[in-house]
């Protein structure tokens, strides 16, 4: 991965390319390991970006008195 700043979308696109290459092309063991390492780095980057985004998302909720309050966003899976 280059030293330049990469967006989430760019990282995800590159990760998808790596997965496709590993699934559809015959590559050497050395190249496979290199692609796997790059993929793991990109996956970690994407996970960090998603975690940061989730922590920044706030929902506005209106209580019974009409007051607006902010509460952290919790995906449905986490609410159970």
Q: How far apart are CA 79 and CA 72, in angstroms?
A: 11
| Lowest-confidence pick of 6-10, 41-45, 70-74 | 70-74
The structure tokens listed for 23 are 């699934």
Domain ranges of the chain: 8-73
List pLDDT tens digits, range 21-52.
999 999 999 999 999 999 999 999 999 999 88
Report pLDDT for 51.
86
- pTM for the predicted model, two decimal places: 0.67
Report pLDDT for 15.
97
Phi, then psi, of 36 in degrees rounded to 5: -60, -45
Q: What percent of the chain has pLDDT over 90?
A: 55
Q: How many C-beta neighbours within 10 Å does residue 18 have?
A: 19
């Amino acid at each position: 991965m280059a030293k330049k700043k990469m967006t989430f979308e760019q990282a995800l696109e590159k990760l998808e390319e790596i997965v496709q290459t590993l699934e559809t092309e015959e590559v050497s063991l050395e190249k496979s390991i290199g692609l796997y390492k790059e993929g793991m780095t990109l996956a970690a980057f994407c996970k960090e970006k998603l975690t940061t985004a989730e922590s920044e998302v706030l929902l506005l909720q209106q209580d019974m008195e009409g007051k607006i309050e902010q509460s952290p966003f919790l995906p449905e899976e986490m609410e159970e």
